[in-house]
Amino acid sequence: MQLLYQTHSPYARKVLVLAHETGLLPRLDVIHHETSPTRRNDAVYRLNPLGKVPVLILDDGTALFDSAVICDYLDGLHDGPRLIPAEGPARWQALRLAALAGGIADAGILLRWETERRPPELRYPALAEGQAGKLRATYAFLEESAALDGPTTIGHIALATALDWIVFRGLPGFDRHERLRDWYRGFIARPSMQATAYTGRTHD
């Protein structure tokens, strides 16, 4: 299988970390692709009409996207414990944590548009502050959440890759949330995280 990837995407990294954690990495040919809303990548658009990575190309040519779909697919290909629990409270807790992590990445990307990527004369400070507020509220919620505990799930992988992207981009951080900070530091020490560290910069 081929995984169209981007070395500075939290969504793509989530997939690659899952592949490491489940032993599926040898089955993937990982190919880096730069994508941006302002720079068309025709190779990616041919597979995903949204023009985004990650995209997983199966052996029969089927293209899967986005990261949640790819992770669900890959999690059914290994013999170890499922990172997406099949049912019950564990499933919903894992998926909710993954959704929160996706929201962190979404808010961070919008915040970067309003503070760095968009031309200064077109920036909207109120929108930037709104996104920063979402980050602060989510950090506070996670600090008190039982979801940080227990066996590793897709939620933990998504959260670690999102938080590490926040650090990588120098966005408003979570250092004052001691429990969340310590959990993050422990998780990024895992081999799967060390092997997939962020590199590169955005090309607009």
Burial 163-199 (b: 16+ CB within 10 A, else e): bbbbebbebeebeebeebbebbeebbebebbeebebe
The pLDDT score that the predictor gives to residue 58 is 98
Cα radius of gyration rounded to whole Å, the chain:
17
Helix (H) or strand (E) holding 4: strand 2-5
The pLDDT score that the predictor gives to residue 203 is 81
CATH classification for the domain delimited by 2-74, as one of 3.40.50.620, 3.40.50.980, 3.40.30.10, 3.40.50.1820: 3.40.30.10
The pLDDT score that the predictor gives to residue 127 is 98
The beta strand positions in 75-188, using DSSP E, are: none
Confirm if 15 and 74 have CB atoms less than 8 A apart. yes
CATH classification for the domain delimited by 88-191, as one of 1.20.1050.10, 3.40.720.10, 1.10.150.120, 3.30.420.140: 1.20.1050.10
The pLDDT score that the predictor gives to residue 204 is 78
Apex CA 107: angle with CA 105 and CA 111, to 5°? 115
The pLDDT score that the predictor gives to residue 149 is 92
- Domain ranges in the chain are 2-74, 88-191
pTM: 0.97
The pLDDT score that the predictor gives to residue 201 is 87
Blockwise average pLDDT, block size 10, the chain, 204 residues: 98 98 98 93 97 97 98 97 96 98 98 96 97 98 94 98 98 97 98 97 83
Going by C-beta distance under 8 Å and a sequence separation of 6 or more, which residues neighbour residue 174? 139, 142, 163, 166, 180, 181, 184
Chain-centre distance of CA 154, in angstroms?
10
Structure-token pair, residue 175: 């250092």
Q: For the chain, what's the residue count?
A: 204
Give the type of residue at 198.
Answer: Y
